[in-house]
Structure 1
Amino acid sequence: MSDQDIIQNHISELGQSQDERLPRELGAHHADVDERTPEQLMMFARRFSRFVNYYRGNTAAASGNWESFFPADEDQAARLLSSEDGAAPAHLALWASFLELYELPREALNGLTGLHMDFFYRSVLRFEKQGALPDRAHVLLELKKNTAPTRVGPEHRFLGGKDASGTELVYAPVRDTVVGRGKVTSLRSVFVDSAGQGTVRFAPIANSLDGLGAELQGDEPKWPGFGAQTLPAAELGFALASPVLRMAEGRRKVSLRLKLGGLPQGRMSSALATSGLHAYVTGLKSWVGPLPLTASLASDTLQLDFEVPASEQSIVDYDEKVHGYAYTATAPIVQVFLKAGAALGYEDVKDLDVKDARVSVEVSGITSLQLESDAGRLDPKKAFLPFGSQPAVGSRLMVGCPEALTKKLSEVKLELQWQGLPGNFTQHYSNYGLAGIDNDSFTVSSSFQDAGTWAQRGQGHELFTPLGTTGARELTFTPGSTSHSRPLSSGYKVYALQAAGNLWARRAAQSYVRRSPVFRSFLTAIPDARPGFITLALEHDFKHARYRTKSIELALKYSKSGTGDPVVLSEPYTPVLQGISLSYKAHSDTVSIQSRELEDFSNPDVHFFLIGAFGQMREHGYQRQQFGFVPDKSVPLFPRYLDEGELLVGLSGLQANDSVSLLFQVAEGSADPELARQPLRWSVLCDNYWKAMGQGEVVLDTTNHLLTSGTVTFVIPREATVHNTVLPGGLVWLKAAVTRDTGAVSQLVRVAANAVEVRLQAEGAHPSHLLAPLPEGKIGKLKTPIATVRSVTQPFASFGGRPEESDEALRTRAAERLRHRGRCLTAWDYERLVLGHFPGVYHAKCIPHAKDGSWLAPGHALVVVIPDLRNKNARDPLEPKVDADTLSRIDTFLREHTGMQVQARAKNPRYQRIQLDFKVKLHPGFEFNFYSKLLEQELIQFLSPWAFSADRRLTFGGHVYKSVLLDFVEEREYVDFVTDFKMYSHTGGGSGSQDVQEAHPQTPDALLVSAPMHLIKDAEA
């Protein structure tokens, strides 16, 4: 047999439905002893009366028979038997009464075959009816204020109202539950959207329409517990805190140098980082930003540069009240975020590690300086005399800038804008009788100390040369630079020898100084550095004293000689600063982020933080090392979300070693059954790190990994903390994670603490109670109140109840059990076992030697199941599917009833859609827009009648003919004619393209259904 023939045979097999499980031959009334109805018995009496003579009066001869006394046909007999007006003849009324009485022995007689089967099944084979299964419910308890946790156990009783017979319904807890002060305060979710370059989406209020608090819609408002693509993008990044970032004013440039690991091949570049990142820094009144970044990636080092304009506010220490967030830092902070919608996405950066970090700044144009001279404080807002009105050797100008001098500096610049500066000092002092004075002659010594190892003590810094393009003099100081900026003159050489300690040189220098007072400054000691100040001390004066004495001398000389023109000295220059500004370059230490050493962890120069969806945390290798439950991995540059979806539950009123029972009410059937089942992994937040919870901490889970409503009971481990920053503090945080395919988990309706599962105590309860669930809210109080319990609430209807097995159900089960004997060998066995154990499944079809995606797979068995359409599925009425929880339980059941060599799996059918494409002309007076929609709905109902009527069933097999559908359309009273009529048959979400005359299932698991939309066009358009 060819492969195609095998597949065709699989297609032709229709499977088994619930209604057809019991063979007709095993029906209790398949062969009744007396199968006649009262009408038929009436006709039997008429036929029999032909043979009974009728004697009129006392005559001896018969005058006929009794046939004429009975109805002529069954219709007359039926009218006679149903007549209640007393018009029937007396003899027929008497006969009808006999027939009515005869029904009792007739029913007993006809029940003989059923009694025989019952005797055989129940007395001989010892089959017993399955007893009623009591229904269960969940209740939520709330304790009174200031009460201790309370145990609620099976000995307690809850009241659920009365049943149809007036009997009180009593429910008892299934197990012991400790009810405490725990309360679900916050529900949040994270979803990693892999579309494009990847985006992390978040919901600060998960139980809302948009994740941000919008009210949910619908009768049963549900929400995706593990996020969805419709949520807003989260703010992800990293941050560095460093004192070097304190910058009050000026033009401020910041450079972040990061040594990276885990660079993805081809997924990171300078251009991508430049376009995909931006920065914020802590300003005086708010965050400053976003600031564009310039990125440079060389080998494994990423450098990020940005500039804070001079017009922006001061960069100050982080203040939670001003800046928000929850950083554990007091220094200024720079935050680097991924830009939303940029070419650089989360998938590009999620694997990056950071090994070490360094922060550098360059500030220029600082004018808010603390200025002092020997005469006192100076005002930098107007012109001032930096060395006083009579500058002398050793006169000092002290420039205070704690911002710069409390950092590790690599350069300092002072820009001096002089006022009234002579163009030529040689000419200016030409009549002073002094040699060697020029523009380079006026120098200062300098002294200051930064926060590192640099202690500046230098001499010979010219005050007036060279001048910049703006006419200002820049004094530049760098570590290791020389004290002199020009070649040594003879005087400088003398000083150099003196500095070397040569006694002869010192004496020669003293003699030279006496003759050349210009160089007297070389014997002036460099002043000690004052914390936070740059001190400039004059190394020579500006000849104010010489001016006075020389002026008198020239005046006396002129008065004595009385000849020639008098010599007028130019007044000595008194230094006046019109403006002063300071610039500097500073840097932090290079701090190892991955270091396992305490010294690096406690280094105050750089603190590294990760910015997650809901908060921030300081990250460091040493910090990771302190937690044995945290894998000792490298430190990520961006927060890592290893799972596609996360549900975060914030609990108040709990502490370590407490227990809490959480109720998870799910929207039944909302999980996508086509996706593979996804296990949940629970974790608890401990000092900003997630600790996986094991069986000793997740002690009970009745939700089947959130596929159905139930409770999950936790014991909070001792490592759990409430002082966290990655999520809001003050709460115990639990996390449920799904690695992928979050749609495989049901959506949520409610999450609440202090849940207790209760079960009906069946004593005295009326059997009819189990035919329908107990509505929500019926269980509202305890039979014997508990002093600490304030209220009892039943949030949704009861579940799991089942009445006692009927006689027919027993016969069906017994007959099947005798054949399959509780194990799956043939396709018949698979179908009957699944239908018998899962009443919510209406139809089952077993495809042997097949698996999903292959119809010729020995060692496999595929069971295709259709749900009972009387219980409408929550997802799609045109393509109904068994919910994921039931599929999961069927898979487990099949594993328990098949051999080890067989892999059996249950799945939903493949729906093969029938779609029509045609043009239609309507009769005059019929509006096309309305009646085209009506026609579409009628076609859908015609092709999928089971979606609209409980009497119609969805089954495998069958054919759909194009001619039948065309005839159906043409018969509509509002349709004039149809043209271009085409029929497509396709599976999945696509559209067909090939017109077919007949549609039939293409695969063994396919069902023919209507497409949700048909292509109906106006023939006159």
Structure 2
Amino acid sequence: MQPDNLNILKVLWRKGTSQAMRINPALDPSTLKLMDLELGDWLLFANNFARFIPFFPADTSKVTIDNWQLFFNDLLEEGNLPEKGTFAYAKLLQSIHDKLEFFEQQGSLKPQLTLLVAFLKLLENSSHSLNNLTKRHLDFYYKKILRFSKLAAVPDSAFLVIESGKGTKPILTKGTTFDGGVDANGKKRTYSLEYDFIPNLAQVSQLKNRYIDFNRKKIKVSQIANSLDGRGERFIDENHGWWPFGHPLANANYPELQDASFGFGISLASLWASADSDKYLSFLFTFKKNLPFSGTASDIHQLFSVEYTGEKGWVSLSPSAHPEKDNFKSSISGKQLKIVFFVGKSQPAIVDQQEKIHGNIKGKGAPLIWFDILCNSTKAFQWIKGIGETPLQNLSIHTSYSNINTPIIESDLGVLNPEKPFQPFGSIPKKGSSFYVKYPEWEKKNPKKVTLSGKWANTPEDFKEWYYSYRDMGNQYLSKDNYFSQHFVANASLDQPIKSFLLQPTGFRAPLLESKIIVNPDPDNLIVKSNNHFKASLSLKEDQGWKAKLAEVVLFEEDGDGFKTSFDILPEGGSSHLELKEGIKITLLQSFLSEMYPRIYALAMSSDQPETPIPNEPYIPLLENMLVTYETEEQFNFNSSNELDLQLFVRDDFGWYEENKNSKTALAHTPDNELYAFPVSQSAGEMFIGISGLVPFEQLSLLIQVLEGSENPSQNMGGEEEGLKWSVLAGNYWLELKREHIISDQTDNMLKSGIITFSLPEESFSSHERMDKALVWIKVSSTKVFNATSRVMGVYAQAIEVVLVDNENELSHLKEGLPAQSINKMITRKAGVKGVSQPYNSFGGKAAEQDNQFYIRVSERLRHKNRAVSLWDIEHLVLQTFPQVYKVKCLNHTCSSSFLSPGHLMVLVIPDTINKNVYDIFQPTFSAAKLNEIASFLAEKAAPRLAIKVINPLYEEVRVRLQVTFYPGLDKAFFMNQLEKDIINYLSPWTSGEKLAIDFNSHFNKSSLVYFIEKLSYVDFIQEPRIFRNNVEMGKNILPSSPMHVLVAAKSHDISVYAPISD
């Protein structure tokens, strides 16, 4: 906001009023002395006066020998008396004082001078009484007439931590006293408890936190919140403190915290799988609404990690580590998220949970698969939030188990070894011969599809040719002649039967040569007419016995140079799965003609015709291997009230728990009964306090010690609705504590140190797995940024507050507080109290008002009459009531948008920064709560129609850009840094922590800054100095934009070493 008219508003360009400006020397009675001569002054006066008094000897001679200055020869030397108030005069007074001290120690001062000095010292009593007349008059008027009195001392308080012993349960009644040591006078300090307190064995065992940065898209977590890095590293400075809700920072003071991770787990008995197969597992999640993000399969592979219960421990996988396969591809679309991963035969089996190798058994102990996302990117943050905030509806688990080469195979004759070639139908395969395929895992699963495949060994190239000699003779008698003649066929011109040639001496030789007969190329009586001749049926065992599921399947399918067999079995009649507990029965539908072979072989061998074909030995089926592949698919409805075989677990960095519809329904404090995959909070920050030793119905007294003033004042914690929320873990879900559960809270949303007393509900002690089950867990959550609250120094259980008892003690300790550990025992020991400790300094004490403070306060009170009328009144009321305010400035007729706004008043306040915790020392500000407190105070003192607004100044950064040349031989890197520090100290001297120099009317000239820099001992000269205010280059005079602005140094400046341009 720019001023409307700078000429009219000159009155607003004021410096304001500081605490130091309240001190008026005229208000101090000691500044006016009615008798201001002291012992040295009297002696010098007497010596100077004695110069004019003649000295006559004792013989009554009227002849003057000298003057009376001889009387002071031992104390004073001859010379001119310097003017009072000069350095020479002060030096002379000090010389007289030193000589008197010497004579007093030696006892060698002459008697006449001793009498004079004694008289002058006695005269000091009268001088003091006379000089005190002004003070007595002022005290009489202020205290007797106006009835003002000095403010009494405020006793300090201290937080103590009580350690209880086992056994007797003590009761500390109101008035119980504690030993605070002795004061400066050797008198014992006593601190008293002002309420009844019953200590117990509760202790703070663990502190954790998690912070969600919605702007940077990060989630950070600390397993040990009260440590530098969140993992246990000790603080270098014990007064460093830690952010209670974590932080997203990454610097030397606050190293980067760990990225948070979230996961969900699926536990299901049917997931058990041996290492005999290559396994594809597909998990298709359907949510109740569209997921608020999009992605690809590669995103799923990149973000998710998978681990399952293996034979020797947890086995980690990546969803991307598998070859592509139809229907087994990760995807995301709308409401659905499909995650597919692959477990090869070389990897361990998926087994049931075992406590020794997998840790605590989760749920029923069935195989467990975890899906986790580490929040280490913006995309991961979006997915975690999206999945965690969208309720689940269904889950479809589709699995494929392939390349199983070790099934249990039995023939009609016994068990076969599938790892070697075997004859599945025996050595004489005939119609009805069978073999059985079983797989133990089928007993735990419900396959929806089974594929059996195998490679046949030693097969003929063509079964039709191989079985060419095997004929269906029909009604003919199988004889030597019939067997032989069926292999030939007559030429079209032949008019006699083929068998007639057998009666001739040459048999079929001559007709074949004469082409009267030819070999039959396509006999119609072949038994094996093609490679598809041999068939089998596949049956499954049902209640009524074996029932064919595939009535007829071809055994031999061409596969390159050989043959294979492969067939799929699917459920029928609307059934969702196959019943395979008894395995699969494969039955031959034809014989392989082993029974026919001896007869036709004998006929062929007995034939005297050389052209008689010799039949091939029938093929005996020999499988090189038998591979089993099967698939399962199961559907689960998360909205069902029926108990599911599947268990859904969710976890974060602190633990896990089961998401169960019935369990959530049974709990009254769950926000809804929906199931979620990730336990993501809606709060920005969470701190978790693990309490041990607490039993039901006991109260918990927690001390939270904070570094007051370390919060970001621009972040207002707000009222009750926006403040911190306290919850307790009850049955794996957080139960928000109501007012009746929080008996008292002194912390003001953790902006100041104090004790919180809880009376936790019974649900707090119910069993849970979400965090360490041995502890009672309390959570405090915030919707604000991490630095909206103060940094925490410590959290202690069994805390009490004690107050100093007025025993007329010396109270010098009130200025800095009683040091920590000064109170370590009770005045009277109490059974059951094992120890007492004071972890931090006492606080809240205030020494009795001194005379000078009293006179300032009363004189101001007489002027403003406790009413905020003029600017002077308002500024002095604020400074008196709020000593933490260093400077205040009132802008009358001013609002946030105009400097010409009658009826409005703007009050700007600057905090005291010396030895104080300030969030930003460059731009010190008050918190919104403190500003509101000041505004409320002024509203009670001002006219009701006056609109008062109290704000922090508007700071404008001044940044310097220049080139510098240092004197030869100096370390350029070091002195560049030193120059930046000196510029900052010049522009903002208060940043050193030793000065209070913030000025509302701050301005400077560019030449003065240049002069300052060039006078530095290490600077030779500078080039091209430029000054920027809020990134806008300024001219010679640098002024604030308006009376509401204050110029401050930027935290860094553009300084470079001058490099001359060579010709």
Scaled by the length of structure 2, the TM-score of the pair is 0.80
Aligned-pair distance for 1:189?
A: 0.8
Could you say which residue in structure 1 is the equivalent of 2:1040?
Answer: 1001
Aligned-pair distance for 1:309?
A: 3.4
Q: Is the 8 A contact 2:38 2:124 kept in 1?
A: no
Candidates 312, 316, 333, aligned match of 2:368:
333
Residues 466-485 of structure 1 aligned to structure 2 (within 5 Å): 466-468=557-559, 471-480=563-572
Could you say which residue in structure 1 is the equivalent of 2:15?
Answer: 14
Could you say which residue in structure 1 is the equivalent of 2:317?
Answer: 289
Provide the C-alpha distance between the structure 1 equivalents of 2:538 and 2:404, rounded to a whole number of angstroms.
19
Is the counterpart of residue 311 in structure 1 residue 356 in structure 2?
A: no
Provide the C-alpha distance between the structure 2 equivalents of 1:901 and 1:377, rounded to a whole number of angstroms.
103
Q: Is the 8 A contact 1:722 1:730 kept in 2?
A: no
Is the counterpart of residue 202 in structure 1 residue 221 in structure 2?
A: yes
Could you say which residue in structure 2 is the equivalent of 1:123?
Answer: 144
Which residue identity is paired with 1:644?
Answer: A
Aligned-pair distance for 1:136?
A: 1.3
Q: Is the 8 A contact 2:239 2:793 kept in 1?
A: yes
Provide the C-alpha distance between the structure 2 equivalents of 1:398 and 1:1020, rounded to a whole number of angstroms.
91
**Consecutive unaligned residues in structure 1, runs of 5 or more:** 483-527, 987-991
Residues 775-924 of structure 1 aligned to structure 2 (within 5 Å): 775-820=819-864, 822=866, 824=868, 826-848=870-892, 862-873=906-917, 875-881=919-925, 890=934, 906-924=950-968
Provide the C-alpha distance between the structure 1 equivalents of 2:261 and 2:624, rounded to a whole number of angstroms.
48
Q: Is the 8 A contact 2:375 2:381 kept in 1?
A: no
Q: Is the 8 A contact 1:661 1:753 kept in 2?
A: yes
Could you say which residue in structure 1 is the equivalent of 2:239?
Answer: 220
Which residue identity is paired with 1:782?
Answer: M
Residues 440-479 of structure 1 aligned to structure 2 (within 5 Å): 440-448=532-540, 457-468=548-559, 471-479=563-571
> SS of 2:818's equivalent?
coil
Is the counterpart of residue 691 in structure 1 residue 705 in structure 2?
A: no
Is the counterpart of residue 583 in structure 1 residue 629 in structure 2?
A: yes
Instruction: Please provide the CA RMSD for this pair.
Output: 4.1
Q: Is the 8 A contact 1:657 1:716 kept in 2?
A: yes
Deviates further, 906-915 or 205-214: 906-915
Residues 140-289 of structure 1 aligned to structure 2 (within 5 Å): 140-144=161-165, 146-147=166-167, 149-196=169-216, 198-229=217-248, 230-248=256-274, 249-263=276-290, 272-273=299-300, 275-285=302-312, 286-289=314-317
Q: Is the 8 A contact 1:894 1:905 kept in 2?
A: no
Which residue identity is paired with 1:1004?
Answer: P
Residues 40-119 of structure 1 aligned to structure 2 (within 5 Å): 71=81, 73-74=83-84, 78=90, 81-82=93-94, 83=96, 84-85=98-99, 100-119=121-140
> SS of 1:460's equivalent?
strand
Q: Is the 8 A contact 1:649 1:735 kept in 2?
A: yes
> SS of 1:292's equivalent?
coil
Inter-CA distance 704–363: structure 2 relative to 1 (3 Å threshold): same
Inter-CA distance 264–5: structure 2 relative to 1 (3 Å threshold): farther
* Deviation readout 1:824-845 (Å, 9 max, x if unpaired): 5554444333322333333233
Aligned-pair distance for 1:698?
A: 1.8
* Deviation readout 1:563-606 (Å, 9 max, x if unpaired): 778775543333222100111221112x222x2x421xx111x3
Q: Is the 8 A contact 2:433 2:588 kept in 1?
A: yes
Residues 979-994 of structure 1 aligned to structure 2 (within 5 Å): 979-986=1023-1030, 992-994=1031-1033
Q: Is the 8 A contact 2:156 2:817 kept in 1?
A: yes
Aligned-pair distance for 1:687?
A: 1.6
Deviates further, 177-186 or 20-29: 20-29
Is the counterpart of residue 752 in structure 1 residue 796 in structure 2?
A: yes
> SS of 2:1024's equivalent?
strand
Which residue identity is paired with 1:116?
Answer: H
Aligned-pair distance for 1:670?
A: 1.9
Provide the C-alpha distance between the structure 1 equivalents of 2:142 and 2:545, rounded to a whole number of angstroms.
102
Aligned-pair distance for 1:651?
A: 1.4
Q: Is the 8 A contact 2:534 2:556 kept in 1?
A: no
Deviates further, 232-241 or 873-882: 873-882
Provide the C-alpha distance between the structure 2 equivalents of 1:450 and 1:56, rounded to a whole number of angstroms.
154
> SS of 2:689's equivalent?
strand
Provide the C-alpha distance between the structure 2 equivalents of 1:480 and 1:947, rounded to a whole number of angstroms.
83
Aligned-pair distance for 1:626?
A: 2.0
Could you say which residue in structure 1 is the equivalent of 2:583?
Answer: 533
Candidates 334, 355, 376, aligned match of 2:414:
376
Deviates further, 104-113 or 219-228: 104-113
Q: Is the 8 A contact 1:281 1:334 kept in 2?
A: yes
Deviates further, 679-688 or 288-297: 288-297
> SS of 2:137's equivalent?
helix
* Deviation readout 1:740-771 (Å, 9 max, x if unpaired): 21211111222222222222112142132323
Q: Is the 8 A contact 2:914 2:993 kept in 1?
A: no
Could you say which residue in structure 1 is the equivalent of 2:644?
Answer: 603
Aligned-pair distance for 1:730?
A: 1.7
Q: Is the 8 A contact 2:168 2:831 kept in 1?
A: no
Deviates further, 790-799 or 233-242: 233-242
Aligned-pair distance for 1:385?
A: 2.1
Provide the C-alpha distance between the structure 2 equivalents of 1:356 and 1:622, rounded to a whole number of angstroms.
16
Provide the C-alpha distance between the structure 2 equivalents of 1:627 and 1:899, rounded to a whole number of angstroms.
55
> SS of 1:983's equivalent?
strand
Q: Is the 8 A contact 1:655 1:732 kept in 2?
A: no
Inter-CA distance 851–209: structure 2 relative to 1 (3 Å threshold): farther
Inter-CA distance 48–908: structure 2 relative to 1 (3 Å threshold): farther
Which residue identity is paired with 1:384?
Answer: F
> SS of 1:205's equivalent?
coil
* Deviation readout 1:503-548 (Å, 9 max, x if unpaired): xxxxxxxxxxxxxxxxxxxxxxxxx977241222334443444445
Q: Give the structure with higher Rg (CA).
A: 2
**Consecutive unaligned residues in structure 2, runs of 5 or more:** 70-77, 104-108, 249-255, 322-328, 473-524
Q: Is the 8 A contact 2:459 2:563 kept in 1?
A: no
Aligned-pair distance for 1:378?
A: 1.8
Inter-CA distance 391–148: structure 2 relative to 1 (3 Å threshold): farther
* Deviation readout 1:639-691 (Å, 9 max, x if unpaired): 32211111111112224433221222223332122322262111111121111
* Deviation readout 1:111-143 (Å, 9 max, x if unpaired): 333323322332233323222111111122222
Inter-CA distance 312–1000: structure 2 relative to 1 (3 Å threshold): same
Could you say which residue in structure 2 is the equivalent of 1:641?
Answer: 681
Percent identity over paired residues:
29
Provide the C-alpha distance between the structure 2 equivalents of 1:971 and 1:960, rounded to a whole number of angstroms.
17
Provide the C-alpha distance between the structure 2 equivalents of 1:7 and 1:450, rounded to a whole number of angstroms.
104
Scaled by the length of structure 1, the TM-score of the pair is 0.84
Q: Is the 8 A contact 1:428 1:570 kept in 2?
A: yes
Provide the C-alpha distance between the structure 2 equivalents of 1:24 and 1:120, rounded to a whole number of angstroms.
19
Deviates further, 882-891 or 697-706: 882-891
Inter-CA distance 913–284: structure 2 relative to 1 (3 Å threshold): same
Could you say which residue in structure 1 is the equivalent of 2:480?
Answer: none
Provide the C-alpha distance between the structure 1 equivalents of 2:586 and 2:947, rounded to a whole number of angstroms.
89
Q: Is the 8 A contact 2:980 2:1052 kept in 1?
A: yes
Provide the C-alpha distance between the structure 2 equivalents of 1:738 and 1:324, rounded to a whole number of angstroms.
33
Q: Is the 8 A contact 2:470 2:528 kept in 1?
A: no
Aligned-pair distance for 1:331?
A: 3.2
Inter-CA distance 402–721: structure 2 relative to 1 (3 Å threshold): farther
> SS of 2:258's equivalent?
coil
Provide the C-alpha distance between the structure 1 equivalents of 2:266 and 2:796, rounded to a whole number of angstroms.
39
